[in-house]
Amino acid sequence: MPDCRALLLAHKAYDAPSVFAVDNLLREARRQRGVPNGAIPAICILDPDGDLTQYLIATGQAAPHPHWACYHTRLYAFSVADIACGIIPYAVGASFAVLVAEELFASGCQLLISITSAGQIVPAGPPPYFVLIERALRDEGTSYHYLPPTSYSALQPALLQRLQGAFAGTAVCALTGATWTTDAPFRETAEAIAFASSEGILGVEMEAAALYAFAEARGKAVVCFAHITNQMAVSEGDFEKGLAGGSRDALQVIGLTAQRLMGEASSSLC
């Protein structure tokens, strides 16, 4: 019987370019959909749950961006702390998040911030609270197309250093720590959770390991946050995000992050 793990990791050729190029996909999308050429905001947000995007739309703070040519998603323009941003809802899971990240950076994005709901592993307090993801356990498939096998993907050290103390003295609770990225949320077994706990992992989510692997491989600036909102629904009353579905707190996290890093957004962030 063939070694399936070896087959999964075979023929990756990490330094080789892809035949299917993101620029070519965007070119055809623009042609077919009549999307005019133009840059998108330098700072963009991935909002897998979609709650923040819906809040921004409902409160009249966001509108579709005219230059976004993706086949699968809609980019909305908004501002936070007087900084122009773009946001994309519902990019759930590692492969979808990285597909969208490739398209965002090809379209003019220079800093990508992801804020995703996560289940609590090692308790750091009662949910909800945020975790600036310093490193993410690679328990998904997408990251292995970008980087050779390792246990974790990591936030770029320069970005981590720039964000030190960014949330101190604010009303938002944002810790720094590790998460576990899975591509099978309904296979979070007791054994898998016990291992993650033994590693000191704070939460489980679905995107960060792949986004960080993409960022390292492509030399892009990506910062991932886990919004710890649940204990995997083992009891009733879970998945509460706070006021306005956690949107106001999430906007504060985005604003503080953007303020710390926006000076880097026009230069190298790596």
Which structural domains are found in the chain, ordered by start?
41-262 (3.40.50.1580)
User: What confidence category does residue 175 fall into, taking pLDDT thresholds of 50, 70 and 90?
Assistant: very high
| Lowest mean pLDDT, pick from 118-122, 210-214, 259-263 | 259-263
Q: For 142-166, how does the pLDDT look when each residue is reduced to its tens digit (9 = 90+)? A: 999 999 999 999 999 999 999 999 9
Considering the entire predicted model, what is its pTM?
Answer: 0.94
3-class DSSP state of 191: helix
Q: How many residues does the chain have?
A: 270
Q: Going by C-beta distance under 8 Å and a sequence separation of 6 or more, which residues neighbour residue 55? A: 244, 245, 247
Res. 119: pLDDT tops 60: yes
Taken in order 53, 132, 259, 229, the sign of the CA dihedral is positive
**DSSP strand pairing (111-120 vs 152-154):** unpaired
More confident residue, 246 or 175: 175
Look over the chain and give the mean of its residue pLDDT values, rounded to a whole number.
92
H/E stretch holding 76: strand 76-80
| Chain centroid to CA 144 | 17
Q: For 177-210, how does the pLDDT look when each residue is reduced to its tens digit (9 = 90+)? A: 999 999 999 999 999 999 999 999 999 999 999 9
